[in-house]
């Protein structure tokens, strides 16, 4: 009997008029080519525009979640170590006065990590757990219907001033109790979408009260290449349905 | 909806500072326990405003030119006040301002170490302006110059987020009441709205500092009342941003500060996501 695999595809598009090396989101997803993975991790992060070195911070966060180093249970203990690593990486080079000052203010990022687990390679269902701070979102879709939206479930919850994960310890108290966790279950043929805020906000605005994936939402599952995604995003931006911002999507298919 | 244009490198906005460098700025500055002259307060305010604007635009790879900046000094004469490499220039991209302070002073800053203590860190503080106090206060002429500069800017950037003029002064204009010419400046528009005129009034009066008031009732100084009247009402988005920062605002809230700087205004300008961790 064929095993259930976790298939993931990640897509990204930098903000319009920014170059690709100015893209400040980050993403990570495990590979499960053999269908033997019992724990499948994925993560998405969105570096705050107004902070410097946010790209580096976002990358560090998703990589740490992917390796299992960062998890909800003891994130408060792990965070200072990640912050030191970020600072060490940045200060290894000489910086002009404004970069030094920005460094002292730290970088910030929204973050969401999702772990899918199962009891054995033969299992066709299992559980998921997630941790998040800020406005990255996770959507669970079953038979073309949104069954779970986390941590936001309405488009009006998005704003320009979310509470974010800091790269500098002076802000650690400000996020105490603000990193949240969620959990649920998955079954064969479920889809999970992880999105940074611009796309997530559009998604929630577009899904409507029936929660069925129709029209442009349905076409989300057909995206298979970077070019497809670029065209999809450009279309939404042109029609002013999507805010001009770095846009990132991870699609996870359990099949 | 006005004042919603995206500020970007392809569609930058503009800050124009008018800086009182007249002889009356030799007088003591009212606020704070340390005695200093109004000219010192002006120089401090300008250096902090420029620093904060540079930092707003600073990214890992350098400074993004979201803004063009000009400083017009008015005292013995009216004209561009930048020195050094920027001397004589009316508006320059913010990246050039960042690269061209007159000098970098070293100061010590206390930083929270996140473990209940503080670390002392040496930081470089950029200085573009030193105190100047000489001559009359041709404020009308300064606003006239602003009108010319901004009319030319708007001809090139018709869809920009409207320019902001910040006038830093003790208010004692010697070439007439600047209200009319200030109104002419406020009548200049981009497709996104009218030019904003804000005033920072630095007074010898030892009164409580005021930021973003919605009435002049608490302002006892006649010059403060005049400058308050000249100041633009905050557009809705900026009002909401001020409220998020903890300011009490109403529909009548104006861009005016008395014996305070407007660095907080620069901090809550919206060029993208700003973490609410920062206050």
pLDDT category at A1 given cuts 50, 70, 90 is low
Q: Mind listing the pLDDT tens digit for each residue in B99-154?
A: 999 999 988 877 666 667 777 777 788 999 999 999 999 999 999 999 999 999 99
Contact B272 A50 (CB under 8 A): yes
Selected residue with higher pLDDT from A51 and B229: B229
**pLDDT in the model for residue B32:** 61
Contact A168 B114 (CB under 8 A): yes
Q: How far apart are CA B115 and CA B107, in angstroms?
A: 23
State how beta strands B67-74 and B58-59 pair.
unpaired
ipTM computed for the complex? 0.85
| Chain B residue closest in CA terms to A53 | B60
pTM over 0.90: no
Distance from CA of A133 to the nearest CA of B (A): 11
Beta bridge partners of B67: B13
Write out chain A residues lying below 8 Å of B115, CB-based. 169
The answer, for A95 touching chain B at a CB cutoff of 8 Å, is no
Angle formed at CA B199 by CA B86 and CA B9, multiple of 5 degrees: 45
Contact B274 A168 (CB under 8 A): no
Strands (E), chain A: 6-13, 25-29, 39-47, 108-117, 125-133, 137-142, 145-150, 165-166, 180-187, 191-195, 247-254
| Chain B residue closest in CA terms to A176 | B277
Write out chain B residues lying below 8 Å of A166, CB-based. 275, 277
Q: Mind listing the pLDDT tens digit for each residue in A45-74?
A: 999 877 889 999 999 999 999 999 999 998
- Arithmetic mean of pLDDT, B224-245: 90
* Residue ranges in chain A assigned as alpha helix (H): 54-67, 75-90, 97-105, 172-175, 197-207, 216-219, 226-238
| Chain B residue closest in CA terms to A18 | B9
């Amino acid at each position: 009997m064929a095993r259930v695999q976790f298939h993931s595809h990640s897509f990204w598009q930098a903000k319009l008029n920014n170059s690709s090396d100015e893209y400040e989101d980050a993403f990570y997803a495990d590979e499960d080519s053999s269908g033997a993975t019992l724990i499948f991790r994925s993560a998405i992060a969105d570096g705050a525009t107004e902070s410097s070195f946010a790209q580096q911070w976002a990358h560090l966060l998703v990589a740490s979640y992917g390796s299992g180093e960062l998890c909800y249970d003891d994130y408060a203990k792990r965070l200072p170590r990640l912050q030191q690593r970020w600072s060490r990486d940045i200060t290894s080079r000489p910086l002009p006065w404004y970069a030094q000052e920005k460094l002292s203010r730290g970088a910030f990022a929204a973050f969401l990590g999702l772990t899918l687990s199962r009891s054995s390679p033969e299992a066709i269902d299992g559980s998921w757990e997630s941790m998040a701070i800020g406005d990255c979102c996770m959507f669970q879709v079953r038979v073309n219907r949104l069954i779970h939206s986390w941590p936001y479930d309405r488009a009006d919850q998005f704003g320009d001033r979310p509470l974010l994960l800091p790269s500098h310890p002076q802000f650690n108290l400000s996020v105490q109790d603000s990193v949240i966790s969620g959990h649920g279950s998955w079954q064969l043929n479920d889809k999970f979408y992880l999105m940074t805020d611009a796309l997530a906000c559009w998604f929630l605005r577009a899904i409507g009260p029936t929660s069925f994936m129709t029209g442009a939402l349905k076409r989300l599952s057909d995206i298979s290449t970077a070019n497809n995604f670029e065209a999809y995003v450009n279309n939404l931006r042109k029609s002013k349905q999507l805010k001009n911002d770095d846009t990132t999507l991870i699609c996870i298919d359990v099949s | 909806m006005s004042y919603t244009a995206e500020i970007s490198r392809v569609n930058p906005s503009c800050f124009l500072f008018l800086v009182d460098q007249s002889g009356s700025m030799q007088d003591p500055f009212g606020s704070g326990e340390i005695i200093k002259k109004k000219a010192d307060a002006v120089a401090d305010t300008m250096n902090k405003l420029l620093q904060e604007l540079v930092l707003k635009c600073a990214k890992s790879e350098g400074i993004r030119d979201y803004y063009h900046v000009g400083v017009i000094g008015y005292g013995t004469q009216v004209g561009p006040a930048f020195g050094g490499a920027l001397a004589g220039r009316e508006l320059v991209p913010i990246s050039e301002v960042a690269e061209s302070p007159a000098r970098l002073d070293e100061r010590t800053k206390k930083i929270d170490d996140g473990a209940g203590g503080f670390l002392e860190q040496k930081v470089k503080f950029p200085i573009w302006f030193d105190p100047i106090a000489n001559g009359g206060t041709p404020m009308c002429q300064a606003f006239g110059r602003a009108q010319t500069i901004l009319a030319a800017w708007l001809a090139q950037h018709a869809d920009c987020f409207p320019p902001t003029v910040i006038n830093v002064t003790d208010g004692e204009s010697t070439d007439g009441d600047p209200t009319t010419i200030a109104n002419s400046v406020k009548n200049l528009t981009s497709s996104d709205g009218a030019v904003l005129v804000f005033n920072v009034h630095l007074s010898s009066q030892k009164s409580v500092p005021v930021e973003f008031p919605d009435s002049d009732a608490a302002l006892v100084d006649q010059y403060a009342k005049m400058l308050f009247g000249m100041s633009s009402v905050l557009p809705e988005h900026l009002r909401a941003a001020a409220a998020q920062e903890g300011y009490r605002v109403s529909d009548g809230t104006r861009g005016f500060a008395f014996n305070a700087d407007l660095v907080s205004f620069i901090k809550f300008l919206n060029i993208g996501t700003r973490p609410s961790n920062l206050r």
